[in-house]
Amino acid sequence: MSEKIIPTGIKELDEKLNGGLPIGLTIIYGKANTNKLDLALKLCISNVNSGYSTLIVTSHPHLILYKMNQMNTLIDKSKVYFIQMKSIEDQIRVSLMIFNGYLKYDLIIIDNMGEYYRISSDLYTPLTIWKLAVKVMMLLGYASKKYSVPIVLLTQIRRNPRTGNEEPVMGNAALFWSENVIHLRRIGEKAQIIIERYKGQQINYEIIYED
């Protein structure tokens, strides 16, 4: 039986991913306006048009529906489900539900993953926030393997205080548990995709294309 993959619809990226996104925990990160959500929605559309269901966890479901409509692609919206989250506590609750098998879908996308850690900086100490991030990533990492489901996390970037490198907002907590890591950038009018990890292996494939 062949492994399930989800084509991204970006030819150059699918070639590097051997056909598309594999099962496992994937983090897509980058600055604002680097088309993180657009890439996730391409995955959603590809998945749904193959007859599978998609769950999108987001704080802005109406915005995502609007963007989906703007893409001018036919999609069976009855196979797209939404859960709205508004806090880090919601994120933990949803992650527990996914881990315990209460939310079984063929693709799970969690939008603005790092947003709540920034918002919660006035409520929790940095150590507590890091522990919460580790808990969420651990739950989702195990769930993706337990149920053989692709789980895609979208987040912005931060600058590592020690190395100065760009990394996901949740730092090592995100990178440790993610089997696939995709970094999005912009170079003028063109998009740059850097595949930093694929199926747990550190790589460094760069793709530049006009979106």
Tens of pLDDT, residues 27-57: 999 998 899 999 999 999 999 999 999 999 9
Report the pLDDT value the prediction gives residue 132, as an integer from 0 to 100: 87
The two three-digit tokens of residue 54, written as one number? 């998609």
Distance from C-alpha of 144 to C-alpha of 130, rounded to nearest angstrom: 21
What are the backbone dihedrals phi and psi of residue 102, each rounded to the nearest 5 degrees, phi first?
A: -80, -15
Report the pLDDT value the prediction gives residue 56, as an integer from 0 to 100: 97
pLDDT above 90 covers a percentage of the chain that reads 59
Report how far apart, in Å, the C-alpha atoms of 200 and of each of 23, 40, 55, 107 are: 11, 20, 24, 19
pLDDT at 178 over 70: yes
Q: What is the mean pLDDT of the chain?
A: 89
Give the predicted TM-score (pTM) of the model. Answer: 0.93
Buried/exposed 76-86: b ≥16 CB within 10 Å, e otherwise: eeebbeebebe
